[in-house]
Structure formats: C-alpha cells, structure tokens
Structure 1
Amino acid sequence: MNQWTREARYRPLSDIAPEVYQTMKEEVRNSPWRFSYHIQPPTGLLNDPNGFVYHDGTYHLFYQWFPLGPVHGLKYWYHMTSKDLVHWFDEGAALIPNDDADSHGAYSGSGFIKDDAVHIMYTGNKRDADWVRHPSQIVGHLRSDGRIDKHLPPAIPNVPAGYTEHFRDPKVFQEASGTWYCIIGAQCDDLTGCTVLYQSEDAETWTFLGELKTQYPDFGYMWECPDYFELDDKGILLFSPQGIEPDGDAYQNIFQSGYMIGEKLALPELTYQHHAFSELDFGFDFYAPQTTQAADGRRILVGWMGLPDISYPSDMYNWAHALTLPRELTLQEGRLKQLPIRELDLLRKRTIHAQSTEINQAMTIAQAETFEIELSNLALQTTQFEIHVRAADQEATVLTYDATTQRFTLDRSRSGAEVPAVDYGTTRTVQLEQPLHQLRLFVDRSSIEIFLNDGEAVASTRIFPKSTSQDITLIGDLTADISIYEL
C-alpha cells in the first residue's frame, strides 16, 4: 500500500488474504537492517511496549502493532514470551481490535497478576462518524492459548470532566493493603499534560480519584505512558511528555521520556513530593518505556526504540522499529541508573577480543556486524578519544569523549542511510557527572545502545549502515581492558 489513506490505515488484518500477508512477511524477512537479537515486528510497525509482566516462570511482553505497513493505523497487541528476558518466543497477535470500544485500535496499557492469572488494562480507541475519539479503559485476561479475552463493557467507559480525548495508557499497580490503582496519561482542558488516578478493590470496578499533584502544572501538552513503581523506599514516576522545547543538550528529540524521583505517592490524597524531571536516554530513538518486576525483585525496563512522526529507511520495506534491550534500574545517588540485564551474557556467541589493550593514535581492534564491546579501567593520556563502530571508508557511527569537559557525543551523520529528521540534527551529547571510566555498547544490524559509567547515562539509536561496514576502531592515546563479543 503506497497511499496510506484513512481507509487503508484502519483496514483489519483479517481482510488480507493469507497468501498476500505471507508475501509481505517474506519481503520483510529478506529486507536489509533486520535485527539479530532485538524484538521486531514480523511486518508493519511496532511501537509502545505493553503488558510487561512476569508470571509463573514466564515473562510476557506485548507491543503495539500495525501489521500492514510502517505507519500508525489500526493497532493490535502482539505477544512475546520468554523464560530469561533474552530468548523470546513469538506468540502472535493477542489482542484484536474487533469490538465497538476498540474499533479503531487497541492502544497502550499494562499487565498485572490477579487470581494467579495475567490480566491487562488497555485503552480502547473508538472514533465516531465525525472522527471524534472516544477512549475507554478495558480490562482483560490472558487465555491459555496466548489470546486475550476482553471484559466488556469497558471498566472506565468515559473521560472524566476536565480532560480532553487524549486520555490513555493505564498502568495498574497494587498497594500492600491489596487496593488496586491505575495511573493514566491525560491532557487537561487547558491543553497541559498530567496524570490521573483511579482506585479499585477488585481491578474491575474503578473509581476516579483525581489528578496527581506534581510540581509540573505546565510541562508539555500531553503525558503519555505513565509508569509508577517504588524502589528503595522511593516513589518513581516515569512518563513521556509531549511538547517540551529543547534546552541545551536536553529535550532534543521530537518527544521525550523521563522520570521523577520522590516520596511514595500519598494515596488516595494524590500528593507526590518529587525532584526534577530527568531524561532516561540521550539517544535519538527512545520512547514510551514500561517496567516490570523480575522474578528476583529487580525492576526491568524496556522501551520503544523509535519515535512517533518520524520515518526510517526500513519503511521502504514495509516494516519499522524495535524494542530496546531490557535494562535493570537501580537508584543510586539520587538518580536512576540503567544497566543491561546480566542475562544478556547469554547472547555471546564467541569472544573476539578480551585483553588489556594500549591504543596509540588509532587502531582497528576488530570487525563485526552484531556485537557487544566493553571498555573498563579506561585511562586516557590525551583529552579526547573516539570509538568508530560499523565503520568503513564512507561510514561510521562516531562516539567521542572530551575529558576536559566530561562531555560524550554520539554522531550518526555518517551512519549509513539517513533518517530523514533533519530538524533534530545528527548529534546528541550528554554531560557526565564523573570522568568516563567504563562504557558498554550493544550493536545490532541497525541499532546501537550505549551505557556509560555503569549506567550513569544511556543512549539508544537506530543506524542504517551497509552490511560490509564492520570495523571497530579506537582513536586516541589510552589503555583499557577491552572485551568484544560476537552476538
């Protein structure tokens, strides 16, 4: 489909002949830049992670999915399962938008465990003949065959007074007392973003409590994908505000995702004493993160490695986007730190390089297309050094650190096929609080995820190099313990 009319965007997958859809899958499977070890759509567009939950030995992770092309349209929930958060099994489409309340899409939501079963709450997107949106919040449960049964009519059928049609993305959590709450992203009638809360005794019948009181009464025009959890006796609120203007190195993308750390929510009073908003990721492609609690109590985050309203080179092959690798969140020195989960060591196929290495001026230390590299015990003899990955004569993704300013820059101006978002530039920079002493990179066929100083700063970025661009080159005078693994 080359002309993405409204009719084309809201055509259900069931209208497509099986042989036609199979051809689409083959086209996507054989296209460039398909990932080696990330979650990606079989066809069409992937966006927000949804329903991320652990139950009875299995992790369940869903994502928003439009199957017919690399655009936003009639959204399904696609289901993945895993025993270890690394090897994922394709369970197919689990939530089908085929009822009146979600006639124009099953939008984002969360998972929770009740009565020893996986339940979900999501936003049903319905539009009337005048194309006015009527969102509702729908509860469902996961069947043994991997599909979701909806509990209709919607648990929250209408938007309360004082808020616009932009009212979505419920995240359900339970207090120690057993009371259920859900936090929802919203837009007030004055076109400012916020979150609201509901309360329930059975996670089926919900009572509106009101708007969460924060220190940000005017911070963007919409707050999407809120996620509240507690860590080390603190209350953490994640959300994705839209409409924030750039400010120095911060807020450089079209939309942002970040967090606030504060005292635990006072419920049902709706007060939240917190510190300033901080971005989670300084890369080009990160949005709508969602967390869950792992089997051993760790708080694990997964994000959408993409952004709304931006096209990507893979679009020409009728697919777009992926999910980030899972990250463990810890609270240290008043900030969230993000580390690749330890289970990712299972991805390592072979060791390419593992030794203390001295670099003088420039050295290509390995060649690989999909790999992990870690530099630790980093000691610089000059004020600046660079790492070039997925490099060849005309291509390279360039990472630069300036020891004088402690600024780290990601440059994708020569990373291959261009992401046509020229208004958002080709570099991203972060100011580190500590001198750079450790970094870890995960590079897939069309992505790079960067972890600095044991999770002090993180960047997720799509890149689209040629398959032959495989050099890993360090430039500068330094010594470091360097480990490189093929993944």
Structure 2
Amino acid sequence: MNVKDQELREQATLEIQKHKLQVESDPYRLTYHLMPPVGLLNDPNGFIHWKGTYHLFYQWMPFKTGHGAKFWGHYSSPDLVHWTHEGIALTPSDWFDKNGCYSGSAVDDNGTLTVFYTGNVKDEKNNRETYQCLAVSEDGLEFEKQGVVATLPKGYTAHFRDPKVWKKGEHWYMVVGAQSLQLDGKAVLFRSSNLKEWEHLGAIAGGNTDRLGYFGYMWECPDLFELNGKDVLVVCPQGIEPEGMLYQNVYQAGYFVGQLDYEKARYTHGQFTELDRGFEFYAPQTTLDAKGRRLLVAWMGVPDQQEDQQPTISHKWVHTMTIPRELTLIDGKLYQQPIKELEQLRQNQVSYEQVSINNGVLELDQVRGKSIELGIQDLSYGDRSIEISLRGEIRFIYDPQEKQATLERKSYVNGLTEARHCRLERLTSLQIFLDTSSLEIFVNGGEEVFTSRIFPYPDNELITFASKGSFNFHVNKWDLKYD
C-alpha cells in the first residue's frame, strides 16, 4: 500500500462519516438492494463465488455524485441476501490507474482471488491511455496490485476496457470492450496460460462485420459464458439509434447467442436481444456459483441518461444494483429469474385466491406497501387492456390486442409520463419486486424483465388493478424485510 493509496482510503472513509446521517435519512434509501455508503455507484465488478462467499465489487466515486477517478467498493455475502460492506478493494493510486480503476472481473487462481480491471490514465491535455491490470488477494479483503498485464493492441482507440476473464481447457481467456479506429464497437479476445502474459487474438464480434452492420461506436462491459451448450456474449453497445420500441435508453445492454471457435477466435452468432425493457439497466455481469447457476447482477442506472437529476443526489448518494438473477437459456432466449434465496426476506404473506374485475379499478385491502414482492398468477382476461398501478407513480399495462407490454412512469426530471414497451404474445404471470425507489418486474417467468428506478411520494403505498373488460387473477403479497 503506497502513500497515495492510504490517503485515498482515509479521504473516502471521512466522506462516509461526514455524510452518514444525511445519506441514511433519505426516504429513497432502498431496503434490500446494494447501494453506495456515499457518492456514486455504477458497474458491478468482480462478481464471484469464492471459498463459499459471494463477492461483488462495484465502481465507486465516494467524493461526489458524479463520475470521476473510480474506486472499487466491495460487498460480500454468504447467501446473496445478507451483505456486508467491506473495506475498499482498489484505489486509483498508481501511474497505471491514476484516473480510475475501471470495471473488470474476478477469477479463482488456485485459491488466490485474482481481479482484472482497466487502469484509466489521462494526461494534462486529457488524452487517454488504457491498461488492463491485475491485483490479487489471499483473504478476499486486502488486494495487492500486480500492475499492467495487457496494453492497447493496434487497431483500437484508447476506449478499450472492462476485461472479463474465464478459463476454458488449459488456457485463460479475456474479452475486452473496445472501439476500433473506424469507430465501431468491438469485443476483443485475449489468451493466456498464466494470467500475466496475454496474447491478442483479435475482435470476435462487432459492428460492420459479416454478421452485423453498424452497431454502435463503443461496446462496453462484455461478458462471455457457456449456457446450455451455447456461448452467450453480453455487451453494452453505445451509439445505437432507437428503432420502434427497441433501444429506447441512451445506451443498451443485451446479448448474442452463438458459438465461439476458440482456435480461430471467431464467434458465430445470431441477433442482438436486449436484456431488459425498463428505464434503468446497464453493465450486467455474471458469475458461475458453486451450485452451478449462472447468476447476473446489473447496475440499475444508465450513463448519460439524466442521472444527475435523480432526487437522491440531495442526500449525497446515487444509484443501486439490481437484485441477483439466475439465467437460463430457453429456445435461444435468456430468461432471468430472481434467485430463490430472496424468499428468505418474505414476511406477512397475504393471498387472494380469486380476484375478479369487470370494467373497473380494484384496490385490495392488504396488497400495498413500499418494499414488497407480488406474485400474480392464473391470469385470465379478454381482449381489453389490463393494468397494475404501483404507488401512484408507475403503471404496468398489457394490451392483448396489440400483444404489447408497457411500463409507464412519471419522469423524475419533469414529471411527464414516459414509457417503455416490448412485444409479448401472451401474459401468463408477473413477479414484481418493489422497493422504496426501485421496481423489477419479471414477466412470464423471466421471459421479459422491466427494471427501473421510481421516486413516488414516500408515504404512498397504494396498489391498484384495473381493466376495461374482465380480469381475473390470483395474487400473493409479501413484505420484504430482514429479520
């Protein structure tokens, strides 16, 4: 630990202490989601199940609610439900990361927790340099930087970041998000036998290739994993224009399904599919746990999408993570489901076995709250729209004639109604996770997901169901609380 590192740690600790009361007094602090103790949180990093403990690191700016020279914050958990905020993992304290320890991943190297991240460097004229860096830990808490292990190859700009590392056979592989000199987004592959010396194999996917036309000017946060015999590439393209109901956020997060030829470094894939249909979802990262599950966590935010207007900023913090989800691949489509461990939070179950609405609005006495889970099954409806209104702030609507699901909310910037949509052949079930300032709706067992921040009047717990025709369903409601 050098002098600069020690200074940054002390300054961050003082910042937490200075604003602790102000942060914790915010009525929009979440109940069961991961947040920064102060300042700004963004991308999940280094998500791993290591020696029986889940570790989730995150991009952290402790000194303001804007972006800058990022730290790696650190949460750990025995069960993905009860989390401990650990000491700082990485600080931007060395020549190769002085302007930010940017996003990356973690692997287990023969019992050593080994993390890779991008070192961001800028000179006095704001020219950028980028380095892929390595740090190791024997206890999962204290990390020793090993320095630069991969530099910028030819053919790319310095927008070259977010290494995701995994092992296949006898070799380690690293995929990095990149921008080519032609300003196309790319996913670039490296190979290593020892995690320290990396061979550049080239771009395995990207815009203006034989499989894609123009597809954004930068691909961030790549992740590649095997699921059900297929290789799934998750990326976050920047610079895609809206197309109908698709690509409505400033930047996207989605995936391709295909096969990676490791010898030829060639990825054959199908079309790009968005992972989430809501307003805030970006930089997802996955890991494989000891139970054999492919788990995903994402940042419940989008860069450059009016994040500086979120109301929590007046309380000196901004952003949160999604709940962890388990991924399955069904007929070439990724399904996301809330992890089963979250059932530990359920309290005070209320059930309504047969609810019927006929051209009206219904409020159920005990179905209300701010931090709750709703399970809605056995849906029966005609050809008229059905809707669920949550806390006076947001509406989920399904139109069976248009075969379209819609999420509407009041903008936290100007109060006007804004919407996100997706095609849906039929609505069969909903699992809704509502927190003090967030909403995650899992449609049809995770066939589609809507993830969003919401900022209703803090005391509003009202939930209503409505239809212009007939609407019958079964609903379970749980309060979600820690014991």
Equivalent residue letter for 2:373: E
Q: TM-score, normalised by structure 2?
A: 0.92
- Tell me how far 1:213 sits from its aligned partner: 4.2
Query: Does structure 1 residue 478 correspond to structure 2 residue 476?
Result: no
Residue 454 of structure 1 corresponds to 445
SS in 2 for 1:100: coil
* Aligned residues of 1:143 and 1:149 also touching (Cα < 8 A): no
Taking the TM superposition and a 5 Å limit, the aligned residue runs for 1:7-86 are 13-14=8-9, 16=11, 21-86=16-81
- Tell me how far 1:15 sits from its aligned partner: 6.8
Label 1:19 to 1:239 Cα distance change in 2 as closer, same or farther (>3 A): closer
1:419 alignment partner, one of 388, 413, 416: 413
- Tell me how far 1:231 sits from its aligned partner: 0.5
* Aligned residues of 1:13 and 1:67 also touching (Cα < 8 A): no
Query: Does structure 1 residue 469 correspond to structure 2 residue 460?
Result: yes
- Tell me how far 1:92 sits from its aligned partner: 2.6
Equivalent residue letter for 2:314: M
- Tell me how far 1:18 sits from its aligned partner: 5.8
The separation in 2 between residues aligned to 1:99 and 1:27, in whole angstroms, is: 32
1:164 alignment partner, one of 154, 157, 168: 157
The separation in 2 between residues aligned to 1:231 and 1:269, in whole angstroms, is: 21
The separation in 1 between residues aligned to 2:9 and 2:57, in whole angstroms, is: 20
Equivalent residue letter for 2:325: R
The separation in 2 between residues aligned to 1:171 and 1:47, in whole angstroms, is: 17
- Tell me how far 1:216 sits from its aligned partner: 2.3
Is the deviation greater in 348-357 or in 13-22?
13-22
Label 1:297 to 1:14 Cα distance change in 2 as closer, same or farther (>3 A): closer
* Aligned residues of 2:9 and 2:91 also touching (Cα < 8 A): no
The separation in 2 between residues aligned to 1:188 and 1:474, in whole angstroms, is: 49
Residue 220 of structure 1 corresponds to 216
Query: Does structure 1 residue 372 correspond to structure 2 residue 373?
Result: yes
Is the deviation greater in 21-30 or in 37-46?
21-30
* Aligned residues of 1:305 and 1:462 also touching (Cα < 8 A): yes
* Aligned residues of 2:106 and 2:113 also touching (Cα < 8 A): yes
Residue 174 of structure 2 corresponds to 182
Query: Does structure 1 residue 389 correspond to structure 2 residue 378?
Result: no
Deviations 1:117-146 (A, max 9, x none): 211100011112222111101111124261
* Aligned residues of 1:194 and 1:217 also touching (Cα < 8 A): no
The separation in 2 between residues aligned to 1:17 and 1:114, in whole angstroms, is: 30
SS in 2 for 1:256: coil
Label 1:199 to 1:421 Cα distance change in 2 as closer, same or farther (>3 A): farther
Residue 119 of structure 1 corresponds to 114
Is the deviation greater in 164-173 or in 77-86?
77-86
* Aligned residues of 2:299 and 2:322 also touching (Cα < 8 A): yes
- Tell me how far 1:372 sits from its aligned partner: 0.6
1:301 alignment partner, one of 296, 299, 302: 296
* Aligned residues of 1:418 and 1:464 also touching (Cα < 8 A): yes
The separation in 2 between residues aligned to 1:335 and 1:109, in whole angstroms, is: 25
Equivalent residue letter for 2:243: D
Residue 3 of structure 2 corresponds to none
Residue 262 of structure 1 corresponds to 258
Query: Does structure 1 residue 195 correspond to structure 2 residue 187?
Result: yes
Is the deviation greater in 350-359 or in 271-280?
350-359
- Tell me how far 1:420 sits from its aligned partner: 5.7
Query: Does structure 1 residue 142 correspond to structure 2 residue 140?
Result: no
* Aligned residues of 1:213 and 1:270 also touching (Cα < 8 A): no
* Aligned residues of 2:16 and 2:37 also touching (Cα < 8 A): no
Gaps of 5+ in 2: 1-6
The separation in 2 between residues aligned to 1:18 and 1:260, in whole angstroms, is: 41
Taking the TM superposition and a 5 Å limit, the aligned residue runs for 1:80-119 are 80-119=75-114
Label 1:75 to 1:200 Cα distance change in 2 as closer, same or farther (>3 A): same
Label 1:339 to 1:479 Cα distance change in 2 as closer, same or farther (>3 A): same
* Aligned residues of 1:13 and 1:68 also touching (Cα < 8 A): no
The separation in 2 between residues aligned to 1:238 and 1:137, in whole angstroms, is: 19
- Tell me how far 1:419 sits from its aligned partner: 3.5
Residue 3 of structure 1 corresponds to none
The separation in 2 between residues aligned to 1:18 and 1:331, in whole angstroms, is: 42
Equivalent residue letter for 1:166: H
The separation in 2 between residues aligned to 1:35 and 1:273, in whole angstroms, is: 41
Query: Does structure 1 residue 351 correspond to structure 2 residue 343?
Result: no
Equivalent residue letter for 2:344: L
Paired residues in the alignment total 463
The separation in 2 between residues aligned to 1:398 and 1:54, in whole angstroms, is: 36
Equivalent residue letter for 1:23: K
Residue 8 of structure 1 corresponds to none
Residue 6 of structure 1 corresponds to none
Equivalent residue letter for 1:137: Q
Label 1:149 to 1:15 Cα distance change in 2 as closer, same or farther (>3 A): closer
- Tell me how far 1:74 sits from its aligned partner: 1.5
Residue 9 of structure 1 corresponds to none
The separation in 2 between residues aligned to 1:471 and 1:36, in whole angstroms, is: 18
Deviations 1:58-95 (A, max 9, x none): 11110100001210012001111111111111113111
Equivalent residue letter for 1:377: D
SS in 1 for 2:391: strand
- Tell me how far 1:473 sits from its aligned partner: 0.6
- Tell me how far 1:217 sits from its aligned partner: 5.3
- Tell me how far 1:441 sits from its aligned partner: 0.6
Deviations 1:315-356 (A, max 9, x none): 222211000011111111221111111111111122133533
